[in-house]
Amino acid sequence: MSIRIALDNPPEFYTNLDFISGRVILVLHRPETIGNVIVKLEGESHTALTVPSTGDRDDLYRGRIPGGGGVGDIITESHKILYRLFQVYPDDGAALAFQPGTHEFKFNFKVPLNNICHDPKAMSALLGIGGLSGSGFRTMDGSKQLMLQHVKGTLPPSLTGFPQEAEIRYYIKVTIQRPGFFKENWRYQVGFKFLPVEPPRPAKTSQEAFARRPFTFRPQAALHQKKSSFFGSRSSTASPSSGAGGTPPSIEMSARLPFPSILTCNEPLPLRLIARKLAPTEQQHVYLTALEIVLVGHTQVRVHNLENTERSTWILFSAPQLSPPIQLFNSPTDPVDAEFEIPKTLWKDRRLPNTVAPSFRTCNLARTYGLEIMLTLTWAPSSSPSSLKPNSPSITLPLKLSKVDVYSGIRPPQELLNSVSTQNSRPPRLPNRPPQQPPRPGPGVNVQPPAPDPLYPPQLGTVGATMYEEAPPSYDEAMADQLAGPAARPAYSGVTAENAPSTMPAEKS
């Protein structure tokens, strides 16, 4: 016996609204009776953290860890962010005997937009009666999902690279049930990479997010020599003087990104580096001699009430020694507040690595990004780069943009964007008002109709009050069934192979 899953024209990775189709190929060497052939589309987000010791007073008030975990124990949390079923055999529920040979079963899934674990109705439906579905096969233990904290959002990307701590994986699993008390079910699975579509991009504006830092070089020291003693020995002392190197330059460096700050996977940085003159000087010969641009990712890992943040870095551009160095400003006579933009040719061809996952937030994992720029500036006495010496005054400035979003670069279909914008343009519904019983009037008292409430205008009436009773539809509700996944998509490799063994510790039941 052998089982294999063959996908139809599998891409490098799948995304939302994609159709995943294929065949389950079963090769039998002897007759077998098969009850059900179930194919599942699953996505799981696993996290694991070690319970720390109570080292301070705040830890003493930490809530009790579920499962009674003590100091040093590994606590795990798992979320079923995607769960779809497809029963490929049989149609009528009858178990039949299969003869030796090759048998194929076709399946077809459509990847949704949002995760499923936030929906208690969906989790309860997966339970079925007694943990079994109507077909008699076990789906999943949805009761565990109901006990966890959930976040509704777009399905997160595949994520690995944090052994024994965090990972997000997607699978296609097949279960072949064999009737009989002592017969074991056959199972097989294959993993696939997933990269979500990006959210609707905000309209472009002329605004910019920036990080800036002013600085002033220290005055260069002038050397004064004095004759002393009978033997003609000389002693030298150094004292600050503006006459040797001129008035020290005073400059402000800033890093700017379009606002909102959005970077795109496999696309260049829309970064601008600008120098601004703060004070008049006689000699304003300042050179950019080194530059480094680093993308910093912060992965927030949560297990119940334990949290940890992992820091990852990707070097986008690194030049420890620019050759030739770049002179800031065109002339020392430039007026105050004059600006000089560092040429973008240094990093215009540097794209985000294909191992960078887009920003996301799911139930127990989140990824945010920032950008760090390190600039080394050197003050020279003349406008010739040859005047730069190893002992020339220099300064290294850090510039940090802490709130940067990374998008996948997979634009959602225009039909979906139009549908979402239409739903967002609906007027907000009024909150439900609990009914109030009017007081019973005494005998001989005339009952006056209640005054109209300005919050509930009478022109809405009964029909208008129930018109917006339901919340606006989600992405899944807004999209059409025939809407296909995006065609254009960038390269994405993830960190490890999608079929590599899991590195997460076993979950305690």
Residue 115 burial (C-beta neighbours within 10 Å; 0-12, 13-18, 19+):
buried
Rounded to whole angstroms, the Cα distance separating 218 from 277 reads 16
How far apart, in Å, are the Cα atoms of 506 and each of 179, 257, 444?
A: 29, 43, 77
Q: What pLDDT shows up at residue 132? A: 40
For residue 458, the number of C-alpha atoms closer than 13 Å in the C-beta half-sphere is 4
Residue 113: both structure tokens together: 């937009």
Question: How far is 318 from 295, CA to CA, in rounded Å?
Answer: 12
pLDDT of residue 440: 61
Amino acid at 272: R
Compute mean pLDDT per 10 residues along the chain, 509 residues long, and list them. Answer: 93 92 94 91 94 62 56 88 90 76 94 85 57 43 70 91 93 91 90 93 91 85 49 48 61 94 92 91 80 96 93 94 86 83 92 91 95 91 68 88 93 78 56 57 56 44 35 48 63 73 78
Domains and CATH numbers, the chain: 2-192 (2.60.40.640), 208-215+249-407 (2.60.40)
How many angstroms separate the CA atoms of 65 and 50, rounded? Answer: 11
Q: Would you state the pLDDT for residue 168? A: 95
**How much is the pTM?**
0.78
The predicted pLDDT at position 272 comes to: 95
The pLDDT of residue 373: 96
Q: How far is CA 186 from CA 135, 178, 469, 499, in A?
A: 17, 8, 47, 19
d(CA 485, CA 308): 35
